[in-house]
Amino acid sequence: MAPAIVHFTVGFVIVLAVLWLVPITRYRLTGAFLGGIWGVGPDAHHLFDGARGEQLRELHDSSIADVFFFHYTLDRPFFRALDIELTFLSLAALGVAFLLYDWRFGRRKPAVRLFGTDNTEPPDRPNREDQ
């Protein structure tokens, strides 16, 4: 079973990549966050007990869980043995996704003008002598 952070980052990065292509202007990171939550969805069986927990456990252990951003595939024994590597790669992919997001959608100049960073002169003010 891959760590939950792997499932979250896979969902986050995939949704952020898709939202990069869609011409929306707001809520990209919110959508990506919800994609990360969607990727962790089948692990909700840890939160519930009784009949609801058993239903979620059956979902987690079936190939239908791949709808949740390859959750079932990432929990297979091959990937289970690579949990440290998967964690590192998923966090690296998350970092690259944030860098690309900032490069593409970030502000080009600071929102607040820093003292001494702009070469333009302030607008002309009337002198006290002119009044």
Instruction: Flag whether pLDDT at 123 surpasses 60.
Output: no
Is residue 66 included in any domain, yes or no?
yes
Are 13 and 93 within 8 A, CB to CB? yes
Is residue 84 included in any domain, yes or no?
yes
Phi then psi for residue 107, to 5 deg, are: -75, 145
16 vs 125: CA distance, rounded Å: 48
> What's the predicted TM-score (pTM) here?
0.76
Range of the domain at 34: 4-103
pLDDT tens track for 24-67: 778 899 999 999 999 999 999 999 988 999 999 999 999 999 99
Is residue 46 included in any domain, yes or no?
yes
- Average of pLDDT values for 66-89? 92
Q: What is the mean pLDDT of the chain?
A: 85
Is residue 118 included in any domain, yes or no?
no
129 vs 113: CA distance, rounded Å: 30
Q: Which amino acid is residue 120, in one-letter code?
A: T
91 vs 119: CA distance, rounded Å: 40
Is residue 43 included in any domain, yes or no?
yes
Is residue 30 included in any domain, yes or no?
yes
22 vs 24: CA distance, rounded Å: 6
Is residue 27 included in any domain, yes or no?
yes
The pLDDT value recorded for residue 26 is 84
Q: How many domains does the chain have?
A: 1
Is residue 116 included in any domain, yes or no?
no
Token duo for residue 94: 């998350």
The pLDDT value recorded for residue 105 is 82
Q: Which amino acid is residue 112, in one-letter code?
A: V
